[in-house]
């Protein structure tokens, strides 16, 4: 049961750590089960699916976009998202900034750090992250970092990944104190969120532990 899964997670989540219920690939009826159990923050990773679900859910749902976003899909996402967690290129950052200035909005964003060992994973390296943070942009509020650990059963590798992004996060807070709202570290998914809690997570993004397996 979705509500049982959620209450189990709520019990173990320290106060101050937000739970993003990752509902991609699941129908709105299942999201509503989570909503009825009290969940308000949801994450989706595909623009089309995201835009289709938003109008079907109650208006007090808070939506985070957590997937790769192409600049020709911004209009499907930016009007409804309160945060884009997956800014994985400077080109995308520029495009979000421009869209937001044109539409009188300021978007909360996380810079996605390429953390895991996989080449296939999206994300910025440390130098690109510093480059992003060195300018202020009217349409952007920098809120922190997002990262995905290496996909492995070896907990030591996952620990190392999370320790690395946590340390970068703290360093950036010291280097860029003018980004006052840079206070979110989004790490941890179904397989590794308990490890992420030991490494400074302020947000965990959990899908299958809440909704069960996805059918791709």
The residue of the chain with the least Cβ separation from ligand PLP equals 207
| Residues in 112-141 that interact with ligand PLP by CB under 6 A | none
Q: Does 96 interact with ligand PLP (rule: CB under 6 A)?
A: no
C-alpha 194 chain-centroid distance? 17
Please say which residue, 137 or 189, places its beta carbon nearer to ligand PLP. Answer: 189
How near is the Cβ of 178 to ligand PLP at its closest, in Å?
28
Residue with tokens 């952007």: 140
Q: Around 129, how many Cα atoms within 13 Å sit in the side-chain half-sphere?
A: 27
Q: Does 184 interact with ligand PLP (rule: CB under 6 A)?
A: no
Q: Which two tokens stand for residue 55?
A: 């109008």
Residue with tokens 């995308």: 92
How near is the Cβ of 90 to ligand PLP at its closest, in Å?
19
Task: Please check whether residue 142 is in contact with residue 106, taking contact to mean a CB–CB distance below 8 angstroms.
Answer: no
Q: Does 39 interact with ligand PLP (rule: CB under 6 A)?
A: no
Please say which residue, 137 or 187, places its beta carbon nearer to ligand PLP. Answer: 187
Q: Does 205 interact with ligand PLP (rule: CB under 6 A)?
A: yes
Question: How far, in Å, are 74, 96, 164, 172, 202 from residue 115 at the CA level?
Answer: 25, 23, 8, 16, 17
Please say which residue, 35 or 186, places its beta carbon nearer to ligand PLP. Answer: 186
DSSP element (H, E) containing 140: strand 140-147
Residues that bind ligand PLP (CB under 6 A): 22, 24, 45, 66-67, 189-191, 205-209
């Amino acid at each position: 049961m979705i509500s049982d899964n959620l209450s189990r997670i709520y019990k173990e989540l320290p106060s101050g750590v937000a739970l993003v219920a990752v509902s991609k690939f699941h129908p709105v009826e299942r999201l509503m089960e989570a909503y009825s159990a009290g969940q308000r923050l949801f994450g989706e990773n595909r623009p089309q699916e995201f835009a289709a679900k938003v109008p079907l859910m109650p208006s007090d749902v808070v939506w985070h976009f957590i997937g790769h976003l192409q600049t020709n899909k911004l209009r499907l996402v930016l009007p409804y998202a309160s945060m884009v967690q997956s800014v994985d290129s400077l080109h995308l950052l520029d495009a979000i900034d421009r869209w937001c200035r044109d539409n009188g909005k300021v978007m909360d964003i996380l810079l996605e750090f390429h953390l895991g060992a996989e080449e296939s994973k999206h994300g910025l390296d440390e130098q690109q992250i510093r480059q992003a943070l060195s300018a202020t942009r009217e349409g952007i509020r920098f809120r922190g970092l997002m990262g995905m650990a290496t996909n492995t059963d070896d907990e030591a590798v996952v620990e190392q990944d999370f320790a690395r992004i946590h340390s970068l996060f703290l360093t950036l807070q010291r280097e860029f104190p003018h980004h006052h709202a840079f206070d979110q570290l989004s790490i941890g998914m179904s397989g590794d969120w308990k490890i992420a809690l030991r490494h400074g997570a302020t947000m965990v993004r959990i899908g299958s532990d809440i909704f069960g397996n996805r059918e791709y």
